[in-house]
Amino acid sequence: MDLTTLIDGLVEVERIPIAQIEAKQATANEQLTTLGSLVSRLQSLKAAAEELDQTGEVRAVKAASTDDSIISAVVSDAAALGTYNLRVSQLATPQVTLSQAYASSSAGQVGTGSIDISINGDAATTVVLDGTETLEEVAAKIDGANAGVTAQLIYDGSNYRIMIQGLNPGTANVVTFRENSITLGLNQPGANLSDAQDAVFTLNGLTITRSTNTVSDLLAGVTLNLDREMAATDPDIVVKVDNDPTALQKKVQAVVDKYNEVMGLISVELTSGKEGSTARALAGDSTLRGLQRQLLQIASSAYSHGGTTVSLGAVGVTLGNDAGLTIDSAKFASMISSDPSALDDLFAGDGVTSFTAKLKALVDDNIRSGTGTLITKQSNLRSRIDGWDEQIQDIEDRASRLEERLRRTYTALDSKIAELSAQGDYLTSALSSNNKSN
Mean pLDDT value across residues 376-399: 88
Angle among Cα 51, 52, 55 to the nearest 5 degrees reads 125
Domain-located, residue 85: yes
Regarding whether 370 and 288 lie in a shared domain, the answer is: yes
Number of domains within the chain? 3
Using CB atoms within 10 Å of the CB of residue 361, give its burial: 0 to 12 exposed, 13 to 18 middle, 19+ buried.
middle
Mean pLDDT value across residues 111-124: 95
pLDDT band at 78 (very low <50, low <70, confident <90, very high): confident
Regarding whether 371 and 252 lie in a shared domain, the answer is: yes
Q: Which of 338, 358, 376 is the last residue of a domain?
A: 376
Domain-located, residue 352: yes
Report whether 73 contacts 62 (CB < 8 A).
Answer: no
DSSP secondary structure letter of residue 188: S
Domain-located, residue 407: no
Domain-located, residue 382: no
344-358 residue pLDDT tens: 999 999 989 999 999
Regarding whether 67 and 163 lie in a shared domain, the answer is: no
Mean pLDDT value across residues 338-342: 89
Regarding whether 235 and 310 lie in a shared domain, the answer is: no
pLDDT at residue number 27: 87
pLDDT at residue number 436: 62
Average model confidence (pLDDT) across the chain: 90
CB atoms near residue 370 (< 10 Å): 7
Report whether 395 contacts 15 (CB < 8 A).
Answer: yes
What percent of the chain is predicted at pLDDT more than 70?
Answer: 94
234-254 residue pLDDT tens: 999 999 999 888 889 999 999
pLDDT band at 397 (very low <50, low <70, confident <90, very high): confident
What percent of the chain is predicted at pLDDT more than 90?
Answer: 66
pLDDT at residue number 13: 84
Residues 6+ apart with CB under 8 A from 381: 28, 31, 32, 35
Domain-located, residue 386: no
Regarding whether 210 and 279 lie in a shared domain, the answer is: no
Q: Which of 210, 243, 276 is the last residue of a domain?
A: 243
Regarding whether 355 and 232 lie in a shared domain, the answer is: no
Task: Identify which of 291, 294, 302 has the alpha carbon closest to the alpha carbon of residue 355.
Answer: 302
Distance CA 11, CA 20 (A): 16
Domain that holds residue 151: 96-194
Regarding whether 103 and 86 lie in a shared domain, the answer is: no
Regarding whether 209 and 70 lie in a shared domain, the answer is: yes
Mean pLDDT value across residues 406-416: 73
Domain-located, residue 314: yes
Flag whether pLDDT at 302 surpasses 70.
Answer: yes
Domain-located, residue 357: yes
pLDDT band at 282 (very low <50, low <70, confident <90, very high): confident
Q: Which of 346, 376, 406 is the last residue of a domain?
A: 376
Residues 6+ apart with CB under 8 A from 141: 127, 129, 133
Domain-located, residue 391: no
pTM above 0.75, yes or no: no
156-197 residue pLDDT tens: 999 999 999 999 999 999 999 999 999 899 999 999 999 999
Regarding whether 361 and 254 lie in a shared domain, the answer is: yes
Flag whether pLDDT at 388 surpasses 70.
Answer: yes
Regarding whether 266 and 370 lie in a shared domain, the answer is: yes
Regarding whether 81 and 40 lie in a shared domain, the answer is: no
CB atoms near residue 353 (< 10 Å): 13
Report whether 388 contacts 17 (CB < 8 A).
Answer: no
pLDDT at residue number 438: 56
Regarding whether 219 and 72 lie in a shared domain, the answer is: yes
